[in-house]
Every structure is written in structure tokens, then in C-alpha cells.
Structure 1
Amino acid sequence: MSETIRLEYRPPHDFADLLGFFAKRAIAGVERVDADSYRRVFTLDGKVGEFVVTHATRGHALELRIDFADTARFPDIAARVRRMFDLDVDIAAVNAHLGRRRHLQACVARHPGQRLPGGWDGFEIAIRAVLGQQVTVAAARTLTERVVRRFGREVETMQSGKVYLFPTPETLAGADLGGLGITGARIATLHAIAAAVRDGRADFRADRPLAEFVRLWTALPGIGEWTAHYLAMRAAAYADAFPAGDVVLRKAVARGDEPVPARTLEAMSQAWRPYRAYAVLHLWRSTMA
């Protein structure tokens, strides 16, 4: 069954920026992103589906076309896509708060539609985050595609032909990840994440305090504060997640060439609460201008 659903949002919304973010990280065979749309294959309840997101031709809305056998799950799919594209935040409140802060005023004025890029599946984001530790975005995408080609299930859809489903926690928990260019330490972390998610010892629920979410994830081997806060931002939509140790952020607020200490940035960020994750995106974006 196919249906197109209109997803309203409060403007401004920088849809083009989100597409650009997703395009740099898109997994060939799983996702396809161009200047106007985001498309991916997924599985729910053992059934394979596909969706494509475009901007509506009128009004403040995105259009979501879903191809999936079970129409009863369409509201759930739409809710997940709303989180992916951060459609429910009160962006006026975010901008009013951050726009008064010295390091963010120009950023907010330049990009008032900045949103948090989410993801379809928390487990997928976690695996990709570990593969991206200390390597470039392009290198992380290459490693992820290798994992998907070896362990993802190949399926065929009416719209895209042969595509891949991202590997499940059950598959990756015991997968032989050797020979893919992944270090032994990261292989151990990937196995630990997959087993923890499979067994219910780790999840991506946002109904707990941020500090508790971070403690849950940093208890796993190879998961530090940066990765835990990154997961909080992208997999669980915590608006106040803040990886204070991030070197790019520490450089973005520095007066000279040397990045400020993480503790200095953490103290500075207190004035940006409860929207520190939006500050992160603004500051990252400011370094690419």
C-alpha cells in the first residue's frame, strides 16, 4: 500500500541543510539523497518498506510517501520521520534563547532554520557513530557500506530495485567483522553495542534524564562521553545533549588558534541550556562557512 502524508512544521526549517547532512553520510543501497529528497528502505514487524521525503510545494510542510504493506503502521512511520527531520521543536523559542548569546547570535541570524538531524533507527546511528570515531565522514561511510554489504539482507522494492536492509543487532552481535578495515577495539565495541541492544541492556528512549542516558551508554566498552552525547542528539533527540570534548566546538569558540579546554566550553554552555544540541549544530556549521 502507498500513501502520501503531509507533515506540517513551524517555520523556519532548513530542509536543504538536513538533506546535505544526510547526503554526506548516505549508505549506498540503503539510502538515496539528492537535492530535493531523502529515500530509504526499512523493515518493521518483519516487513520491508520504503519511504521518500520531499518538501511540499505549498505551505510549511514536508511530504512523506510511504510504501508499506501494513497501513496501521503509517502513523508510527510518520512519527519517526518527524523526529528525523526535527519537525516538532518550537524553533522560535530555540532561536530567541540562543540568538541572545555572544557566540551564537550571528549563527542563529544566518541559519534560523537549523534543525537537529535525527535518524531512522537508533541502533544504526550507534553503529555508524562508532565506525566514524577518529576518521572522516567519507571514511566512516565506506566502512558502514562494507558492513551493510556483508551482513545486511538484500531485498527488492518496486521503487528502487535491489537494496539492502541495515544489519540487525542479532546479526552484528556475533558477526565476524574482520577484513573490513575496522580496528580490533572498534570491533569489540560494535559487538558490545549489538549485544546490549539485542538483550535490552541499552536503548534509545528519551524518557530519562540526559545524564542517565549518557551513563547507560558510557558503561559500554569503547563508548566515551562524545559518542554518548552524539547518540543522545541524533538517536534520541535530546535537545540539551552537548559533547563538550569535541575539538571543533572548542575551536569554534576560541579567541585564538588554540581550542578552549573542554571544562571551559562546558561552563560556557550552561547559558545555552536547554538547547545546547542546537548550539552544537550552529557551531559546527559556522566552521564550514
Structure 2
Amino acid sequence: MHTDTDRCVRAVQSKDARFDGWFFTAVRTTGIYCRPSCPVVPPKPQNMTFHPSAAACQQAGYRACKRCRPDTSPGSPEWNHRADLVARAMRLIGDGAVDREGVPGLARRLGYSERQIERQLRAELGAGPLALARAQRAQTARLLIETTPLPMAEITFAAGFSSIRSFNDTVQEVFALSPTELRSRGARRTGATTSAGTITLRLPFRAPFHPDNLFGHLAATAVPGIEEWRGGAYRRTLRLPHGPGVVALTPLPDHIGCRLTLTDLRDLPVATSRCRRMLDLDADPEAVDDRLRADPLLAPLVDKAPGRRVPRTTDEAEFAVRAVLGQQVSTAAARTHAARLVTAYGEQVEDPEGGLTHLFPTPEALSGLDPESLALPRSRRTTLLTLVRALAEGELTLGVESDWDRAREQLMALPGFGPWTVETIAMRALGDPDAFIPGDLGIRRAAAGLGLPSTPAALTARAAAWRPWRAYAVQYLWATDDHAINHLPAPDA
């Protein structure tokens, strides 16, 4: 979008927050870059240039605005609804792949050469993978500086910097403030609370945002031991690169409250990225709802509760296992089956607040389970064991870097996998916004009640007009049923 100068100028002049994260405005006369909704008086159009990423602005010599703090804007929706190389690379960079594995590791996981990745990222984002990872490190550093009392030396390595010098230089270059000055300003602004190993922060989103089906789904399907709804917050354990973590997510009017308890602060950007992905916070609800409103039978559902999100996951392999356990059984039965696996094979963790006891077991831990111990039909035991072995041996990859079409083909090749299971995994684990499950009983009932075609083939034909947002149409259709997944639980539920 940053190449459409007239449209960008209009967005900046109207301070339109819908475009935050889509592009960044660099101001030649001041040497700063801003989000489109920056509250200051807009500069003259001839003094603006537009960039596709914060990293591109930084590479061009601009520093972040101290008023609008562009590094805190929601991420670009582009990386959520695309499955090409650039989108997959950006999802991996957001998940910390460059910091952990370097550019060679990024290239290996994507199946492309380093040169190809560098060239495509520069062409679309104006910066290569190292610069994009550096911009993410700067954002993490700012967050830790402003919201924790940690010594700067600890923040240096927690944010992913290799030396205190590079940490100081980056903070000064990006924010035009020293780390000490940034902490002084942040202490006055944020008022955030931090205890040992716990960080409280705000996760922004684009309005409108309707949390009922999102948190209702997560709470209604919560597996005891790894998930719970308590005090108005969805809590769950997280398997992170440097140790387990626990997160509590609370829906609030203008943001999501996020409280993270981490074994190692180096996992802060990864944990934050995975929570944003699970809650679909980088979606573009205006684009989604405008497309779905064009269907007169869907329009009333959208107008009643605009801004629905797709509930996703923090662990793709975990969700695939749970999808198999949920085949042709009730929500309660699926939770019971999953809880048994958690108790028997999950790694135990300590929850400072109590209630959560385990991480969900890895495919490696599950690949050796005794099929006779599973209270499942024999065919489903075969399906589950085949899935976990394929995941454990690397024959099947269900990560943020996955090619959606290739993953579908691999899943369909496994015994016991049909369109419902594959599309459910595509929607909630892979994150494909166009995944569609016309054979789902709830979808067919909703379609019949609205006057839409109720047979899978006819409904698929009608839904072609909803593309590329059919996964969101699924959420609106599901919401016509009075099921617990469609209601925000009471705080004490």
C-alpha cells in the first residue's frame, strides 16, 4: 500500500488508525517516522515519504516518533492472509527464528536460498531479514526498559542483542533517547507493574473487535491442566524456546491485557507474537466485514457484531492432535480425551497462581504411547498415532512457515483425515483466513436458517463471493447458535 501516495496522504491527514501497521510515514523535515494515526499536526504532503516497515524507515535514517510510538502499532494484516515466501518469512521472523537460528536457519526452514529471501524481503519491505529482526529487538528492548526494573545488562541479552554496545547504539538510533532516558519517560507514561519473571503489557488491535466468540471458544474448549478461564482472563501454558511460560489474556475495550510469566525473558517477543496470533489481533476487520456485508444474508450478522476474529492457537502441532481427538465427539468429550494425554505425557510446570499444571505433550512424547490406553475407536487411534509420528519425524510440518496448500495435501494423505479435520486445522492452526468447512453440522444448520444453501457443494459455490475471508464467515455463521463457544464467559465462570 505504501506505493499509493495519494491514499497514504489521505490516511495521514485524517489520522486513520485503520492503516496503522499497513505503512509508516517518514517526515523529511524532522527525520522521524510515525504511524498514520499520529496525533501531531500532519506534515505537508511534499515532506512525507512512505515505507512498508519500521525497519525500512530505520534503514533510511529515520527515528521513531515519541508521540505515536509506531513500533507499538498492530502488525501488518498482510502476513496473516498470505502464504507466499515473504509472508511466511515475516511470520518466522516474528516468532524469533532469525535471533535463534540466524538467516541460514530462516532459509532452511523456508526451503529457499538466503539470497532469494533477502531479495524478496528487500523488494517488498525495504529491508532484509537482519534489519527486520533488529527492529523487533528494538521494540522488545523498549518494552523491557519501560515496564521492568531489570538492569540494562539483563535487558540487552533478553531482547536478543549480542552486546551492550549494540543495544545502546540501536536504542539511541531508533528512539533518539538513551536507554536511561527511555526508562525515565516510560515510567511516567505506562504505570505498568512487573514482578519477578512476570511482565504486564497491552496488546493493541484494530477496531472493531468483538471478543465474545474468540474468548468464548477458547474458554469452552479449554483443556484442564493447560488452559483455564479465571477472573475474566483466559490463561494457558506456553511451550517457548527457552523454557515454559504462562499467559493470562483479558479482553478490554481498547486493548488486550496480557500478563506473561516467563522462565527466560528472551522469550518475550516469541510469547507476544504467539498470543497475538492466537487472538488474531493483526486482522483487518474493516476489509473482512466489508466483503462479507456484500452478501445480503450475511450482512445482518456482521452488523450485529462486527469485528469477529478467528480463534487460533499458540502451538500448531497441539491443535492438530486436539482436532483428531475432537472428531465426531462433543466439546466435553474432546476436552476429556486431551486432558488424559496431558496428565499422562505432558511436562509438568509451576503456575505461580495455581490452576495450570502441564504443557501439552510434544509429538515426540506422544509417538510412543500405547494405543490400547486410548479410549478411542480403533480407527481414530490409528489416525492419532500416524499424525504424531509424522510430526515427530519431520514428515509433516505445521508451523508458521508452512505452505498452506502443501500442508493440506500432507494431511489429506494421512488415514482418517477428511475435509472437516483438514480445514479446521487450516483455519485455526495454519491461520488460513480462507479455510472453509461447509460440511460442519453447525455451519449447515446456520446456513439453512439464513436461507443459504445447506449442502456442502452448493454452500461452497455461494461462499466463493466471501473469499478470501471464508474463515471469518464461519465465525459469523457459528454465532447464530446459542452455544457456549459464542459467549464471553462470566468473570468467575
CA contact (8 A) 1:240 1:274 kept: yes
Which is bigger in relative contact order (C-alpha 8 A, separation at least 6)? 1
Amino acid at match of 1:8: P
The alpha-carbon distance between structure 1 residues 86 and 257, as it changes in their structure 2 partners (threshold 3 A), is closer
Aligned with residue 304 of structure 2, among 88, 110, 118: 110
Amino acid at match of 1:24: A
Counterparts of 1:94-133 in structure 2, within 5 Å, are: 94-133=288-327
Partner Cα separation in structure 2 for residue 221 and residue 99 of structure 1? 38
> Who wins on radius of gyration, i.e. which is larger?
2
| Length-normalised TM-score, structure 2 | 0.55
RMSD: 2.2
CA contact (8 A) 1:247 1:259 kept: no
Amino acid at match of 2:476: H
Aligned with residue 60 of structure 1, among 254, 268, 273: 254
Deviation at 1:35, TM superposition (A): 6.1
The alpha-carbon distance between structure 1 residues 246 and 60, as it changes in their structure 2 partners (threshold 3 A), is same
- Residue 247 of structure 2 is matched in structure 1 by 51
Query: Where do 5+ consecutive residues of structure 2 fail to align?
Result: 1-196, 484-493
Alignment of 1:9 with 2:211, yes or no, is: no
Alignment of 1:145 with 2:339, yes or no, is: yes
Partner Cα separation in structure 2 for residue 258 and residue 276 of structure 1? 14
Cα deviation digits, residues 205-263 of structure 1 (max 9, x gap): 45566433321211111111111110011111110001222232223223799973211
Cα deviation digits, residues 25-44 of structure 1 (max 9, x gap): 11111111146201112222
Partner Cα separation in structure 1 for residue 294 and residue 477 of structure 2? 15
Partner Cα separation in structure 2 for residue 10 and residue 87 of structure 1? 7
Alignment of 1:201 with 2:395, yes or no, is: yes
Q: How many residues align?
A: 287
Partner Cα separation in structure 2 for residue 27 and residue 248 of structure 1? 22
CA contact (8 A) 1:214 1:225 kept: no
The alpha-carbon distance between structure 1 residues 102 and 178, as it changes in their structure 2 partners (threshold 3 A), is farther
- Residue 448 of structure 2 is matched in structure 1 by 254
Cα deviation digits, residues 36-73 of structure 1 (max 9, x gap): 201112222362211111134xx621121111122122
Report which stretch shifted further, 224-233 or 36-45: 36-45
- Residue 239 of structure 1 is matched in structure 2 by 433
Please give the secondary structure, in 1, of the residue aligned with 2:431: coil
The alpha-carbon distance between structure 1 residues 15 and 34, as it changes in their structure 2 partners (threshold 3 A), is farther
Q: Which has the higher strand share?
A: 1
Partner Cα separation in structure 1 for residue 455 and residue 364 of structure 2? 40
Report which stretch shifted further, 217-226 or 154-163: 154-163
Query: Where do 5+ consecutive residues of structure 1 fail to align?
Result: none
The alpha-carbon distance between structure 1 residues 17 and 36, as it changes in their structure 2 partners (threshold 3 A), is farther
The alpha-carbon distance between structure 1 residues 248 and 161, as it changes in their structure 2 partners (threshold 3 A), is closer
Q: Which has the higher helix share?
A: 2
Partner Cα separation in structure 1 for residue 313 and residue 336 of structure 2? 18
Give aligned-pair identity as a percent: 37
Deviation at 1:154, TM superposition (A): 2.4
Deviation at 1:177, TM superposition (A): 3.7
